[in-house]
Amino acid sequence: MEDFVFTSESVTEGHPDKLCDQISDSILDSYLLADPFSRLDAECAVAKGILFLAVRFASRATIDAPMVARQAIRRAGYGNGDDEDGFTAANCHIMTSLTEVGGAYREIDETMLDDAGIDAIAADNQVTQFGYACTQTAALMPLPVWLAHKLARRIATVRLTRQLGYLAPDGKIQVAVEYRNRRPHRIHSVTITAAVDPRHAPSLKELEANLVDLAVKPVFEDELIRPDNATRIFVNPGGLLFTGGPEMHAGLTGRKNAIDTYGEYSRHSGAALSGKDPSRIDRISAYAARYAAKNVVAAGLAEECELQLSYTIGMAQPVSLRVQTFGTGRIADEEIAKRLQAAFEFRPAGIIAEFNLRRLPALFRGRFYSRLAAYGHIGRMDIGLPWERIDKVPALRD
């Protein structure tokens, strides 16, 4: 189909699933800041009044995981001193399962390894991961998820700057884009569900007017495709949502993979990204695949590129590298794949070294992975992500 409507969603940092992602990655940041060679799996579940942490680790560092979790909850907007009712950093009950994994600690600096050393470190898991890029936006991301993230961030800004003091941290945004000939043509619809403080709740009509004026209109000001007279804009179509967050619905680490990647416009793995240290191939291969696909499109070799990487336990190189350009390639997909294999590093230790993944928390003042946990791991132009560089363009063209 060349003509279709596609929807993608984003959520604010106060959504319970994203809250869990931020907590898991905040714990990762803390371990890597204290010991860059830490091995870690951190998962989180949250519901009304209760937060459960399951952390398996091998590290020389000692981290107060509940304290780190409470700091992340506070940053997300729950418990800033304004109100001690409901779910807050101060009053939620935290249950922990902390397991130190004996024998798993290895102090290996991948940036110091030669080619043989990199090849000797095999993938620790099986995964098929995807990377994608297209010419729909300046960030080379699909337009629906790009707009959904922009709206989610704008609504969070409106809340944090107290322009709308009644907004609560939880929110969900969906953007539907109409495509013609596989290119974005118009904005079909925009749906916003924003939680509000029940003590200062506006009317539904007032909420709609305020969010359209302060969020929707500013977001689309610099976009080439904007809502038109036929675009339908829905604000809280189910009625006012009081409080939201863990008081209303549960959350779990890794449940928003589409939001973390391409808004389902491209395929993505079922593996969660948050809460895993850089040795986990199911996380870092998503970054390597995006890096490669973005450089293919930036080099002008295709208008769309989806890269599939498949890994098996015990081998360093991916067992499969497959490129699909959906008929937009300037050269054959097989030739693009050959150029990617020659120009990019897809082995686990090589990816860690390429992006300096163990030391990014120290370079970003103690918070790197936790910043990815809301508004996407891919396509971010506000952080300076190493996998968003387009420095391999000359190599691919040659």
According to DSSP, residue 151 is labeled H
Can you tell me the distance from the alpha carbon of 261 to that of 288, in angstroms, rounded to the nearest whole number?
Answer: 13
Backbone dihedral region for residue 49 (phi beyond 0: left; psi -120 to 50: alpha; all else: beta): left
334 conformational bin, left if phi > 0, alpha if psi -120 to 50, beta if neither: alpha
Domain 4-11+143-244 of CATH type 1.10.286.10:
no
The residue ranges of every structural domain in the chain are 4-11+143-244, 17-104, 111-136+255-272+279-397
> 213: which DSSP letter?
I
Six-digit token string for 200 = 């200062």
- Common-topology check for domains 17-104 and 111-136+255-272+279-397: yes
**In the CATH hierarchy, which fold is given to the domain comprising 17-104?**
GMP Synthetase; Chain A, domain 3 (3.30.300)
Please provide the CATH number assigned to the domain covering 111-136+255-272+279-397: 3.30.300.10
Non-local CB neighbours of 286 within 8 Å, separated by 6+ positions: 129, 130, 131, 261, 268, 269, 273, 377, 378
pTM over 0.85: yes
pLDDT of residue 105: 83
pLDDT mean for each 10 residues of the chain (398 residues): 94 98 98 97 96 97 97 92 74 96 87 96 95 98 98 97 96 98 96 95 96 98 96 97 93 97 95 96 98 98 98 97 97 98 98 97 96 97 96 95
Tokens representing residue 262 in the block:
């391409």
Residue 139 pairs in a beta bridge with: none
The CA distance from 329 to 297, in Å, is 9
Q: How far apart are the C-alpha atoms of 275 and 253, rounded to whole Å? A: 8
DSSP 376: -
